[in-house]
Structure 1
Amino acid sequence: MQYFGIKLKQLRHARDLTQQQVADYVGVTRATIGAYETGAQYPSVESLIKLTVLLHTSADYLLGITDEQQRFDISRLTDEQASVILQLIDQFHFLNSQMKR
């Protein structure tokens, strides 16, 4: 399950988070996050859930079950509605990253 560590690290970097910030949120040590990223250790179910919340993704994506990062079912929306929702999410992430600086 090395893909778990790779995906975790990619998502952490994409959100400009340090291992320590992720560790603080999850309630583990920085070394534990490092071990997750190298594949030396895997999270408990509780930690996995916290990671999905923090990284705005699904457990299925982190575990390599799907390549889809979305956690929300937008299949019943029109293309226009889905586009607006995704643009709002992108804008929220952008503004959130600006506030961290």
Structure 2
Amino acid sequence: MFVRIRNLREDNDKTQQEVSDYLFCDQSLYSKYERGLRDVPVDIIIKLAELYGTSTDYILGLTDEKEKYPIKR
């Protein structure tokens, strides 16, 4: 998971500071998420999925499909 959130950030040309501002957390805390030094809370995983237009399953490593799941109505 940690490599995926770093790769998503880099693929979207964002800095750690930009992502941490979006998440309303400190940049040093976000850096620890990316390095695997802190567990990423569920609410942060959801916000990251929304930011990058992907699924939480992709971030968690449960699928290799980056595309967001279609919404069923």
TM-score, structure 1 normalization:
0.65
Amino acid at match of 1:36: Y
Shift, 1:33, TM fit: 1.3
- Matching residue of 1:9: 6
What runs of 5+ residues in structure 2 fail to find an aligned partner?
none
Match among 20, 23, 26 for residue 20 of structure 2: 23
Pairwise CA RMSD of aligned residues? 1.0
Q: Give the drift of 1:56.
A: 1.4
The residue type equivalent to 1:34 in the other structure is S
Rounded Cα–Cα distance in structure 2 between residues aligned with 1:13 and 1:6? 11
**Which has a greater percent of helix?**
1
Which structure: larger Rg?
1
Runs of 4 or more above 4 Å deviation = none
| Aligned position for 2:37 | 40
**Alignment length, in residue pairs?**
70
- Within-5 A mapping of 1:81-100: none
- Find the counterpart in structure 2 of residue 82 from structure 1: none
Structure 1: distance between partners of 2:57 and 2:45: 10
Structure 1 runs not aligned, ≥5 long: 74-101
Contact in 1 for aligned 2:16/2:27 (Cα 8 Å): yes
Identity percentage of aligned residues: 37
| TM-score normalised by structure 2 residue count | 0.88
